[in-house]
Amino acid sequence: MLRALRSGELTVLENAIDEPADEFVSFALAEGLLGRLASGFPDPRREPEIPPEVIVAASVAGCFAGLFALYHSGYALRSPRLLAQLGLNARLLEPGEGLSRKGTRHPALFSEDVLRKLLALTEKRENAANQEGGTSWLKWFNDTAGPACLEHIGQEPDIFALDCTKLYVPLDNNRYEGSGVVNEDGKLKRGYKLATLRALLDESGLLVEVRFGPIQEHDLHLARPLLVDSPHLRPGSLLLMDRGFLDGRLIAELKEHRGVDCVIPIRRNMTAATEAIALTRDHDWQPHPNVIEEQVQLVEDVGHLWEECSVPLNACVIRRADEHGEFQHWVIVTTRLDLSAQYIAKSYALRWELEEDYRQLKDQGWNLDQFTSTKRGTLLYHIACVLIAYNIYQVYTRTKRGRRFAHKSRQSWRLQRHKDPRTYILLATPTAYAVFDTQQILPEMLLLAEPLRLHLVSLCRPHLTGYG
């Protein structure tokens, strides 16, 4: 490329911008993870010009880049490195040279109509099969994306967490397909509910299976298929749940028929809770493993105090003194009888990490609940891509190179990128390209003969509007 620069053979000269997002997507491409996602992509097109791997890579890159407008994902792949990994030419960065025969009027890989038409064809196929809109994307995530990310880390986790989160949309827009309305604290709200099964891995986790429904659907009803049918829950698995899934018969069914143990808090007014608190002994309190101000104690054999649950239970009682010195108590029960009170308390504390993850997914730039369409299928494609991006992030932070992103919010690592003063320049010929540090290549450019410098100016002219 230096010889091409010195001989005037360059055809492209422009800024090369590598965002942190590019690093995550590049990792997923190099590891074959995006290829696996593309292999299960429910593509309704016949002989498509733009392959599924490009569509998936662009959609996931768009989620990392904060392009919550789904149809703008064609703009997300600007890194020459990513283009090369996809087998594409760097000249596709130029307006008018998109992948399809029709090209694109903008500097994007493909027109936004490509994805719009793909989603419309998918919906048409679902309608013909009497399926709800978005069924294909839910199945894609559950059958391909979630398992692929889990298998990639080479572990078989045995601790899982089940949770639900609400995704709100404008109340006055009843065109959101499949949405519902609930009354929360005297205010009506419209939206959806997402149930997720998360595999816990050390201090992180992967979303492996999801369910989707209207906001008014009860957590337990929405998530029941995850409990009854999920292939991820195997004999010996430990499942962490919150009070929204408090159902003694279901807990017993999981233990007796699937060999899955549960850890779940119970209401204070339940007999099992009041009796467990009464059975604690002053000299048996132990420090909470995570919270300095709290203490824990194990109380065995409280299952007979909960008539609805037909399997043995132990209880972990947690207490904390208020400002008046009076103790407040909480009770967590489990069907796994060999767990200590400290282990129960520590494992359930992992749920607070999940709450923080949900907050970041919705409030810290992942844009999980930022929709630009009212169609259910488009919403679910967006949700699937955001969750895939989140999983890729979690997988990458477990690698040596990706550890620097661990325990950081998406906003923090994007901010760190903007603090980096380095810039890069892309030089390309019709057959090759290279990316140079600007400070390294600029002296080489300035030392060129005048005709060659004028050639570089001509390459830059399309970007010099307003400078004559």
> Is the domain of 178 the same as that of 198?
yes
> Is the domain of 233 the same as that of 161?
yes
Segment 29-39 shows an average pLDDT of 93
More confident residue, 88 or 169: 169
Q: Hey, CA dihedral for 53, 54, 56, 60, is it positive or negative? A: positive
Burial class, 45, CB count within 10 angstroms (exposed 0-12 / middle 13-18 / buried 19+): middle
Give the pLDDT score at 50: 83
d(CA 152, CA 196): 19
> Is the domain of 168 the same as that of 119?
no
> Is the domain of 264 the same as that of 369?
yes
> Is the domain of 298 the same as that of 329?
yes
Closest listed residue to residue 158, CA positions, set 262, 236, 94 = 236
Is residue 195 in a domain?
yes
CB 179 within 8 A of CB 169: yes
> Is the domain of 111 the same as that of 157?
no
Q: At what angle do helices 112-128 and 376-396 cross, to 10 degrees?
A: 110
What pLDDT band is residue 467 in, cutting at 50, 70 and 90? very low
Is residue 438 in a domain?
no
> Is the domain of 83 the same as that of 189?
no
Segment 406-419 shows an average pLDDT of 59
More confident residue, 298 or 353: 298
Is residue 429 in a domain?
no
Domain end point (choices 346, 362, 396): 396
Q: How many domains does the chain have?
A: 2
Give the pLDDT score at 404: 77
> Is the domain of 323 the same as that of 369?
yes
The CA-atom distances, in angstroms, between 23 and each of 82, 89, 393, 395, 419 are 9, 19, 10, 13, 17
> Is the domain of 75 the same as that of 124?
yes
User: Is pLDDT of 415 > 60?
Assistant: no
Is residue 466 in a domain?
no
The rounded mean pLDDT for the chain is: 85
More confident residue, 468 or 118: 118
Closest listed residue to residue 205, CA positions, set 139, 159, 243, 240 = 159
Q: What is the 3-state secondary structure (H, E, C) of the chain?
A: CHHHHHHCCCCEEEECCCCHHHHHHHHHHHCCHHHHHHHCCCCCCCCCCCCHHHHHHHHHHHHHHCCCCHHHHHHCCCCHHHHHHCCCCHHHHCCCCCCCCCCCCCCCCCCHHHHHHHHHHHHHHHHHCCCCCCHHHHHHHHHHHHHHHHHHCCCCCCEEEEEEEEEEECCCCCCCCCCEEEEECCEEEEEEEEEEEEEEECCEEEEEEEEEEECCCCHHHHHHHHHHHCCCCCCCCEEECCHHHCCHHHHHHHHHHHCCEEEEEECCCCHHHHHHHHCCCHHHCEECCCCCCEEEEEECCCHHHCCCCCCCCEEEEEEEECCCCCEEEEEEEECCCCCCHHHHHHHHHHHHHHHHHHHHHHHCCCCCCCCCCCCHHHHHHHHHHHHHHHHHHHHHCCCCHHHHHCCCCHHHHHHHHHHCCCCEEEEECCCCEEEEEHHHHHHHHHCCCHHHHHHHHHHHHHHCCCCC
> What amino acid is encoded at 358 in this protein?
Y
Domain end point (choices 333, 363, 396): 396
Segment 57-80 shows an average pLDDT of 70
Is residue 455 in a domain?
no
Q: What is the CATH number of the domain that holds 236?
A: 3.90.350.10
Segment 264-286 shows an average pLDDT of 94
The CA-atom distances, in angstroms, between 366 and each of 61, 223, 389 are 11, 23, 9
What pLDDT band is residue 71 in, cutting at 50, 70 and 90? low
> Is the domain of 59 the same as that of 91?
yes
Is residue 153 in a domain?
yes
320-343, pLDDT tens digit by residue?
998 888 999 999 999 999 999 999
Domain extent for 25 = 2-128+400-419
d(CA 191, CA 180): 6
Phi, psi of 295 (to 5 degrees): -130, 160
User: Is pLDDT of 150 > 80?
Assistant: yes
Low-confidence winner among 46-55, 68-77, 228-237 (lowest mean pLDDT): 68-77
User: Is pLDDT of 152 > 80?
Assistant: yes
Say which residue the tokens 């890069």 belong to.
Answer: 424
89-137, pLDDT tens digit by residue?
655 555 555 555 555 655 556 667 788 888 999 999 999 999 999 999 9
d(CA 274, CA 345): 18
Is residue 434 in a domain?
no
Give the pLDDT score at 246: 93
What pLDDT band is residue 414 in, cutting at 50, 70 and 90? low
Is residue 467 in a domain?
no
Give the pLDDT score at 466: 45
What pLDDT band is residue 253 in, cutting at 50, 70 and 90? very high
More confident residue, 412 or 276: 276
> Is the domain of 226 the same as that of 351?
yes
Give the pLDDT score at 372: 83
CB 297 within 8 A of CB 321: no
Give the pLDDT score at 417: 55
CB 309 within 8 A of CB 251: yes
What pLDDT band is residue 362 in, cutting at 50, 70 and 90? low
Task: Mention every residue, 6+ apart, whose C-beta is less than 8 A from residue 423.
Answer: 15, 437, 438
> Is the domain of 310 the same as that of 413?
no
Give the pLDDT score at 91: 57
